[in-house]
Structure 1
Amino acid sequence: MADLPFLQARKGSWTGAYVPLGIVDQRPWQTAATLAALAQSAEEKKLARDAERLADHEVDQAFSQSLRQASLAEPKLTDKALASQKRANELQETVRNDEARIAALSAAAGAKSAGTISNGSDLEIAKAQLGLDQAELADSIEDLARESGDQRLKLQQELAARQAAMKQYKDRASEDDGQTAVISAEQYRTLAQQLSTWRSLRNRKQLIAQAEQLAKDDVAALTADREKLRAEAASLAAKPVRESDSERIERLQRISTQQNILSILNDRLGAQQQLVGLYGRWGQQVELQQKIVIHLILQSLAFIAAICIMVILAGWGLQLALEKIVHDSRQKQTLKTVLNLGTQLVGLFLILLIIFGVPRQMPTILGLVTAGLTVVFQDFILAFCGWFVLMGPNGVRVRDWVEIDGVGGEVVQLGLFRTWLLETGNWTAHGHPTGRRVSFLNGYAIRGKYFNFSTVGQWMWDEIKVSVPPGTSIHLLLKSIYEATVKITEADAKRAEAEWKRVTHEEGSPQFSAMPSVNLRPAGAGVDIVIRYITRAGVRVETRNRLFAVIVELMQGESKEDRSLAPLTPQGPPDRAFMR
């Protein structure tokens, strides 16, 4: 259980015994002031002010009682005390003489003109001497009180210090009454605040119970003191035999003082009894506030339970709807996972709002979260933006032949974030897929590169190498091969030049030529004829086979002038613009 901070007046572990810092026990006021600082509601603050008022009155009465008891105590006149008393009497006489001399000098100075009095006049010297004598007298009185055991001087000092502290405390005290318990409970909107308030109320209730127990102990102690004082007063009231007049006067004075002390003691006892009842009511008020907070905690827990149930029901309902809408098992499983995760995240977010509430720096938090999500999901953001690029006039369509990051194939699906290809081995083996389904994020349309071979830019330079044995008429064969190649690729060459011209926006003759070329290269056993020509990617194999057949016939010397050398009809998908 938490302890009131002033109970441990010395360093080290607290043993349970109160060690006062002065002569008068000021615990009632310290207790009330400590608890008043913890009061929250208007009801608590009203009780705290009443407790401070009663405790302040009780401590004032304790000082009055201590001063009267100190006046009844007989001083212990030891040798040192007698010497101090003699010295104090002498100094008192000296101070009276100084005061009389100052009065005489002041009267004489008033009769004379002001101009005849110098700065070092006897009056100024007398005043300085009076100050020195008064300081020495105060030291002597302190020495006498210390040697004789007189506590009145220390009590006066403690009382002066308490009055100064009380003045400062009242100047700093707030006049705000606060809100009632029901209204103040409305500000605890989050579960974390409610739990913190419940712990604070529990600790405060323990402190109030401890203060109530201290007040009860003080009531018991004051009751014992009162009985003891009544017994002493009864013994003094009995008239002794052969009492002198001076002894009787002294006895009657002591009886009168003890009656005053008994009256003060009764007043203190009544104040402590009122404090016991007040702390009891204060504890009941805190217990009531604790019940209100517990009700709010249960309400928050009910909201959390309702959110959990709603998340479960929402996930179950979405899965039933998914079963009816989606029939693909793989897609259905993926969507189930996404929906379950989404509903759980929403539920977790709502639960966190109930526990911690809306953050105070919400714009800053949203900015940081947005920046973090942008970094984490930058690939998906680029893929989403790339989808719009691919949907443009020069984009990609399903069944197009494309090459993305070195992987070629036919587009089988174009989604919002991904492009799926049916991979083919290479462009020389068109129409022979590997059977693998390759997926790419659509971000390649923005920060990568891709080739679409289903557009007009599907032209490619192909090359054929033929070895010619020694003894063959090279020049005649070379001319025949060139003429045959020109005839076979003439149509493709003209279309390629026209498309290049259109793409590059050139006027007149294009800088690029699509005419074939036939070159000779030396080889180990003769020479090699290298034939380079333009063709379409889709008909590359057919063109190569046609040229090989013609070249073989020319090399065998077979004259087939009626052979159809008409150009091949282009096959494949319709032309579209080449793009990157």
Structure 2
Amino acid sequence: MRNKRQLLWIVPAVLLVLCLVGSFVTRGAMADLQFLRSRHGVGQADVVDQRPLQTAQTLFSLAVSAEEQAFAHEAIRVADHEVDQAFAMALRQANTEGRTLTGKALDASNKVTALQQTAKQDQAAVDALVASASARNPGADDDDLDVAKAQLALDKDELDDAQSTLAIVTGDQRGKIQEELAAHEAGMKKYENHAGDGEIAVVSSQRFKTLAGRLKAWFDQRSRISLLEQAKAQADADTASLTTQYGTLQQKATALTGTEKQVQAADAPPIAALPGAVSAQAATAAPARPSRLVLLRRLEAQRNILGILNDRIESQKELSSGYAKWLAQVQLQHQIVVHLLLHSFAWIAFIVLCAVLLSSLISVLVERRVATLSVADRRSMHTFQTVLQLVVQALALLLILLVVFGPPSQMPTILGLATAGLTVVFQDFILAFFGWFVLMGKNGIRVGDWVEINGVGGEVVEIGLFRTALLETGNWTDKGHPTGRRTTFVNKYAISGQYFNFSTTGQWMWDEIKVNIPTSADSYDMIERIHKVVLDETAKDTEQAERELQRASQQHGVTQFSATPSVDMRPASSGIDIVVRYVTRAGDRLEMRNRLYQSVIGLMRVPAPAIEATTGK
């Protein structure tokens, strides 16, 4: 069991370490232009170097602003021209290469020549059959014509295979160069009519309204700067390589020029030579003429190639200059994004500063106010301070999130879902929060009230924003004797539950005392005397209670209350039980009960005549 628990954290930890190591090892995979590496690398099969155009096309897709797109179009134009010149140079070099065919190469060449002649004959036969069929019946089918077309197709396929074999045997790259040239021209069509429709740099950068977007743009620009630096360095390297190649070809051309002059001098007749001598010299020089013609053609080809190389060198310089301008533009945009990032961080710092100042101001104001309040009010004020500080912190966090991520795109939907989720999760706290307003209303409760909440009675000692605290006093018959327990209730009882509270100013309540008197002839007189004593003792409280209860009943439109004490008689085995019910203050109920008991006991000890004499009856 212990080993399984260890595996639960060892396996994820090992995977995390491996992923981090792999990420570090491959950190440069997306930061380099792969085709800018050495042409002698693995997988490099192009005869003509097309890296300048590949670089320009890759960087074209990374252009953001209108200025960048203009530089990208110019880079593609120059790179395309340079690659076209490279194809032209490769074809000229392939054409100037003289090869002496022997062995398999000679056999392959002869086979190609024979198949070319056969293909011409097949094409002539097809043309003749087409003309003959049209003259007889233009809509009729001709089996001979179909057979001739099929034979022509077979011979052409065989000719293509023979030409491929000849190119492999002799090393002739003209066919492959032509294929690459066709692919290059097809690939360039999608860039010819592509117009730049981007925004200018300032507007493009201003689109990033959030800190997250600006950070992303900052990192993207850093990547583009690195790629442009690589492209410019490669263009400079290609310029140097072509310049070296130009110098080598220039030396060869100079050597060919010297050789051609020597042949020309050897072939020219002397000025004072006799006619017979001239004829003999011409006869000896005749075999050298073809050699001079070959030299002249080679010299012309070398000069054409030198011209192309010079054009390619200038194109590479122009391409390097274009990348330099593009790099400067991206660096300018990078400065704009840095400026906007500083604005975002300044807003965050301002929000945090305002939140700290507001929290400090709330603390200072509450401390000044608390000094003049009672202990119960101090607790309420501290609760109010905590609520205000939480509101300030939550508002600051919300504003910071808006600065970092911006407002959501589907704000109504998100607000609806968030509200529904929060309502379900925090429904008790929401009810408690609104219940606090109910309790603070006219028919609510106050600190010091005697209430009953969910069957628990006690005195209110604290009313918070979410909770109400009672000092439990037991059941109603033992009111005034705390149990020592502090009970807390969530304020939702004010909305979804029930609570009982004294609704009058004096907190009036009905109480009762029980007295047993023996059965005798003057029992009814004793009952009347007890009733009269209770009326006298509670007269003041009864009058005030009736006024308050009647005022409360009139406000709510219910039946008026009567606070007059009543005496009920109940037969018992030992005499008559007298139950006296009266209205008294909740806080004075024990004192009032003791006074009534003393009065009734004193009344029962005094004989009836004495009582009558005392009362004047």
Common topology (TM > 0.5): yes
The verdict on how the C-alpha distance between 1:292 and 1:83 changes in structure 2, with shifts beyond 3 A counting, is same
Q: Alignment partner for residue 176 of structure 1, among 196, 203, 220?
A: 196
What residue in structure 2 maps to residue 125 of structure 1?
Answer: 147
Verify: 1:162 aligned to 2:184, yes or no. Answer: yes
Q: Which structure has the highest helix share of the two?
A: 2
What residue in structure 2 maps to residue 50 of structure 1?
Answer: 74
The verdict on how the C-alpha distance between 1:16 and 1:75 changes in structure 2, with shifts beyond 3 A counting, is closer
How far did residue 413 of structure 1 move?
7.4
Q: Which of 245-254 and 340-349 deviates more? A: 340-349
Q: String of CA shifts for 1:50-77, please: whole Å, max 9, x gaps.
A: 1000000111111111111111223463
How far did residue 140 of structure 1 move?
1.3
The verdict on how the C-alpha distance between 1:123 and 1:416 changes in structure 2, with shifts beyond 3 A counting, is closer
Mapping 1:478-493, distance limit 5 Å: none
What residue in structure 2 maps to residue 205 of structure 1?
Answer: 225
Q: Which of 542-551 and 79-88 deviates more? A: 542-551
Q: String of CA shifts for 1:428-474, please: whole Å, max 9, x gaps.
A: 355556788766554323322323356699776868698x9xxxx99
CA separation in 2, counterparts of 1:247 and 1:477?
170
What residue in structure 2 maps to residue 276 of structure 1?
Answer: 320
CA separation in 2, counterparts of 1:428 and 1:170?
99
RMSD between superposed Cα atoms in Å? 4.6
The verdict on how the C-alpha distance between 1:217 and 1:23 changes in structure 2, with shifts beyond 3 A counting, is same
* 8 Å Cα contact 1:465/1:528 also seen in 2: no
What residue in structure 2 maps to residue 96 of structure 1?
Answer: 120
What residue in structure 2 maps to residue 567 of structure 1?
Answer: none
Q: Alignment partner for residue 442 of structure 2, among 391, 397, 417?
A: 391
What residue in structure 1 maps to residue 395 of structure 2?
Answer: 346
CA separation in 1, counterparts of 2:93 and 2:369?
96
Identify unmatched segments of 5+ residues in structure 2.
1-27, 267-284, 560-565, 613-617
* 8 Å Cα contact 1:463/1:530 also seen in 2: no
Q: Which of 416-425 and 33-42 deviates more? A: 416-425
What residue in structure 1 maps to residue 563 of structure 2?
Answer: none
What residue in structure 2 maps to residue 408 of structure 1?
Answer: 457
AA aligned opposite 1:128? A
What residue in structure 1 maps to residue 246 of structure 2?
Answer: 226
Q: Which of 276-285 and 103-112 deviates more? A: 103-112
CA separation in 1, counterparts of 2:136 and 2:447?
126
* 8 Å Cα contact 1:40/1:178 also seen in 2: yes
For normalisation by structure 1, the TM-score amounts to 0.76
CA separation in 2, counterparts of 1:64 and 1:351?
61
Query: Number of residues paired by the alignment?
Result: 537
Mapping 1:163-562, distance limit 5 Å: 163-170=185-192, 173=194, 175-237=195-257, 238-239=259-260, 240=263, 244-328=288-372, 330-331=378-379, 334=383, 336-374=385-423, 375-376=425-426, 377-387=429-439, 391-392=442-443, 396=445, 400-410=449-459, 424=473, 426-431=475-480, 440=489, 442-453=491-502, 516=568, 518=570, 536=583, 560=608
What residue in structure 2 maps to residue 136 of structure 1?
Answer: 158
The verdict on how the C-alpha distance between 1:518 and 1:156 changes in structure 2, with shifts beyond 3 A counting, is same
AA aligned opposite 2:312? R
* 8 Å Cα contact 2:36/2:51 also seen in 1: no
For normalisation by structure 2, the TM-score amounts to 0.72
CA separation in 1, counterparts of 2:118 and 2:529?
149
The verdict on how the C-alpha distance between 1:102 and 1:404 changes in structure 2, with shifts beyond 3 A counting, is closer
CA separation in 2, counterparts of 1:262 and 1:20?
26
AA aligned opposite 2:442? M
Q: Which of 133-142 and 432-441 deviates more? A: 432-441
Percent identical among aligned pairs is 41
Q: Which of 177-186 and 146-155 deviates more? A: 177-186
Q: String of CA shifts for 1:93-149, please: whole Å, max 9, x gaps.
A: 22222233334334444543558x5x2443332222222222221221111111211
SS at match of 2:63: coil
The verdict on how the C-alpha distance between 1:108 and 1:354 changes in structure 2, with shifts beyond 3 A counting, is closer
Identify unmatched segments of 5+ residues in structure 1.
507-513, 522-526, 565-580
CA separation in 2, counterparts of 1:4 and 1:465?
105
AA aligned opposite 1:286? V
How far did residue 27 of structure 1 move?
0.3
CA separation in 1, counterparts of 2:383 and 2:325?
63
* 8 Å Cα contact 2:48/2:87 also seen in 1: yes
* 8 Å Cα contact 1:78/1:147 also seen in 2: no
